[in-house]
Amino acid sequence: MSAVNVTRAFYQRQRQDDAFNVFYDSVLKGAKELEIGEPVLPRYRKAPQRYDDGASHVQFSDPRSFYRQQYFEACDLLIQELHDRFGQREVMKPIVTLESLLLKSANREECIQELSDFNDSVYRQEFTVEKLEKQLGILVDVIHVELPEV
């Protein structure tokens, strides 16, 4: 869960004019280095009458303002998707329990409560707690063999 919180905080920090300006300036610099033309406004297209709902359509005066709107919309979408996907505690509880179980086992800490919580979760049909306990017992050895630098 901490990775999700860090990612959400990152995108919230990116949703500022200063961050957009740094991003847009880096795009301009990259375009110049690659000898690509600067960003331009997409051609304005009027929606067919059958799709037109009568609302006024925004026309941007320059590419920067158009892409600023796109940038902020993308940041908002990412933040909302992170919230929708990981913000539901009842859905995430078994996953958080599993994460805690693996971390405690890897650090050779007692994890009786996590095993009990995991056994009470929706995954109880997928795992046998007795087999899981045995496999967690060799987790440290597997880590040392596979990742000797840890």
Q: Which residue has the higher pLDDT, 96 or 53?
A: 96
Residue 105 has a pLDDT of 85
Write out pLDDT tens, residues 34-52: 999 888 888 877 767 777 6
Q: What pLDDT is attached to residue 1?
A: 58
Least confident of 5-9, 25-29, 66-70, 84-88: 84-88
Instruction: Tell if the pTM clears 0.75, that is, is over it.
Output: no
Q: In this predicted model, which residue has the larger pLDDT, 143 or 11?
A: 11
The answer, yes or no, to whether residue 26 has pLDDT greater than 90, is yes
Q: List, for residues 70-115, the tens digit of each pLDDT value.
A: 999 999 999 999 888 877 766 677 778 888 888 888 888 888 888 8
d(CA 150, CA 129): 27
CA–CA dist 74, 132 (Å, integer): 41
Contacts of residue 75, Cβ cutoff 8 Å, sequence gap at least 6 = 11, 12, 14, 15
State the pLDDT at residue 56. Answer: 62
Residue of 81, 68, 67 lying closest to 8 (CA atoms): 81
Answer whether 96's CB lies under 8 Å from 1's CB: yes
* Spatial distance between the Cα atoms of 57 and 50, rounded to a whole number of angstroms: 15
* pLDDT, averaged across the chain: 84
pLDDT at 55: 64
Residue 136 · residue 105 · CB < 8 Å: yes
